[in-house]
A = this chain, B = another copy of it.
Amino acid sequence: MEKLLYDTPVAVVDLDKLENNIEQMAAMCRDRGIALRPHIKSHKMPEIALAQLKAGAIGITAAKLGEAEEMAIAGIKDIFIANQITGPAKLKRFAALASGSKLSVGVDSWTNALELDQLARETGLVLDVLLEIDTGLHRCGLEPGPQAIRLAQKLRECNNLYLKGIFTHAGHAYAAADAAQVAAIGRQEGEAMVQLARELARAGTPVEVVSVGSTPTARHAVQVPGVTELRPGNYVFYDAIQLALGVTSLDNCALTVRATVISRPAPDRAVIDAGSKALNLDKGAHGASLVRGFGLVRDRPGITVDRLSEEHGILALHPEETLGVGDVIEIIPNHACTVVNLFDTVLGTRQGKVTEVLRVAARGRSQ
């Protein structure tokens, strides 16, 4: 990379790898007849979302209104907000966005359903909602049982809501011990959802969409007949956590942070200019303890990113390691999604040459 033009720390995405990752996931979904609705929270960049749509995605998933708004500005119409939208400020924005988009949203409580129904009535819309199901992450959502069926049935009282489907995110796969456990969680995710869809149909509330998510469980959950939609996010980049879970190989990791050695104060220690404000302290939100340090140093397996201050990364080295002040290293972050969120721009490269500067458009859209 042109040293003089591009300073460090900097986030860099290998566009060839990125495009390959996008195509591989799209191909898998095409082969199985599953709709792909990638989660854009991982990249927050309209350019990448558009590439995903071009590769065959039917629409996108967003985590919050700010992300959805930014994608709508780029002309993307079919957006599912895989979250609960509650409270007057957010509902107002949601209505504005819904008037120009094919918007759908999650729901997991009667309280929230009433808010959404009232909003839809007031604005003359019929809103597509998906009931959120908890398949083991224990975050939002109802367990796939009588409670979920009751809420689904009750939603029929809401004349301006249309229960389009059910969705879940098996994020607990990130706490798996190995690839076999990831696979088991993925199958359970799919099976629990398909089973619930059957029960809902029997209870007189059939749903069109049975949507599962998460990059680790993706290829396992889609093998369950009856799953109709997949919402992975991280796969565009992959990262050290995905590697540790056996989800992908090193060669597919598209995002790196480049950093410069600024100090070599001791034989067993060097310091780089990338700290927690570039690499994040993320070791996996749901308990993954498989990663070593705060990122993988590419081509230098003997080096560990041992500690992070805000603007310093402390590397643990073998005393014979030659790394010195001014050397540039490349780090595959533990969690790509939270790293991209720290940068305003990401450099796009092909064969090591910078070809584009991508703006992380939805970064800072906190709400």
Contacts and interface: CB of A to CB of B under 8 A. Distances in A.
A3 B111 contact: no
A140 B262 contact: yes
A73 interface: no
A64 B311 contact: yes
Contact of A41 (B5, B10, B89, B310): B310
Q: How many copies does the complex hold?
A: 2
A9 B140 contact: no
Interface string A334-367: 0001100111100000000000000000011011
Interface residues of A, number: 74
A340 B307 CA distance: 21
A224 B260 CA distance: 36
A244 interface: no
A97 to B, nearest CB: 14
Q: Name the prevailing secondary structure of the A interface residues.
A: loop
Contacts of A342: 341-342, 366
A7 B286 CA distance: 27
Contacts of A85: 262
A319 interface: no
B311 A63 contact: yes
Interface in A156-182: 171
A304 interface: no
Which 7 pairs, one residue from A and one from B, show the smallest C-beta to C-beta distance? A344-B364, A84-B262, A7-B89, A140-B263, A63-B311, A7-B367, A111-B325
16 contacts: A7-B89, A10-B367, A41-B311, A64-B311, A109-B263, A109-B264, A111-B325, A111-B326, A112-B262, A138-B269, A140-B263, A140-B312, A276-B282, A281-B282, A310-B341, A341-B342
